[in-house]
Structure 1
Amino acid sequence: MNKRIILVGALFGIIGVILGAFGAHGLEGKVSATSLDNWKTAVSYQFYHTFAILYLSTFSRAKNGLINFSFITFTLGIILFSGSLYLLATREITQLSASFLGPITPLGGLCFILGWIGLFIATIRHK
């Protein structure tokens, strides 16, 4: 197993639990229902891809470039997609101008898609 992949996955898991709890207990009543839904979406996608990253560690012995590609794109996806949604969801309390976030969220989604494609191809090629 690849220690780096497991450590990054574990870190995203820790952060996901903390942010999920913060959303449930710290944001309720302070942001709109839509913003809270955006927060929940960010946490959900962070966890889906945290589990995907941890799964990638089972391929680490293959030293497959596609597995590394998936690891990088899943990591970027969590940062860009979930990160931008966290910022968007808290605009009401942070007063953050979020116009720059518009193109960032879909780029994160594209990273997720590319990561899944990489994992798909790596699995087909794995002997």
Structure 2
Amino acid sequence: MTKLYLFLAAFLGGSGVILGAFGAHGLRGRVAENLLEAYKTGVLYQMLHALALFGVVLLMQHWGERTALVVTGALFVIGVLLFSGSLYGLTFGGPRWLGPVTPLGGLAMIAGWAALCVAALQLGD
């Protein structure tokens, strides 16, 4: 899982930069301001969780692929896909049912941080 999570952290980080640049240069004036703000929020959360996933990789390198760390990484990835992905979809005129998907992604991200708390308690000193 460590190698997969490192790949996903790099992919999410790199694509986050590309999406951010596209939003700043390609979407301004083409989508409503509220949609542009939602898009920016998606990029921000994607980038933050790409870095967090990289942190999980570093912890796995040191502590091994403990279950709580594996779960943390999975929840971060699922959260980005659902949260950021739904915001991107809504920005580009996707179906309205994407709206309720966004908070599910947020819940996955929160659950990922909770799993990281569990991992911290399990790792010891």
TM-score under structure 1 length normalisation: 0.91
Q: Gapped runs of 5+ residues in structure 1?
A: none
Corresponding residue for residue 27 of structure 2: 27
User: What residue in structure 2 maps to residue 114 of structure 1?
Assistant: 111
Alignment partner for residue 90 of structure 1, among 89, 92, 96? 92
Instruction: Give the count of matched residue pairs.
Output: 122
Task: After TM superposition, give the deviation of residue 63 of structure 1 in Å.
Answer: 2.1
Q: Secondary structure at the match of 1:26?
A: helix
What's the counterpart of residue 73 of structure 1? 75
Q: Give the TM-score normalised by the residue count of structure 2.
A: 0.92
Query: What is the distance in 2 between the residues matched to 1:86 and 1:99?
Result: 12
1:43 Cα deviation from its structure 2 partner:
0.2
Q: Structure 2 CA distance, aligned partners of 1:102 and 1:25?
A: 25
The CA RMSD measured in Å over matched residues stands at 1.3
CA–CA separation in structure 2 for the residues paired with 1:12 and 1:81:
13
Give ranges in structure 2 of 5+ residues lacking alignment. Answer: none
> 2:72–2:112: 8 Å Cα contact kept in structure 1?
yes
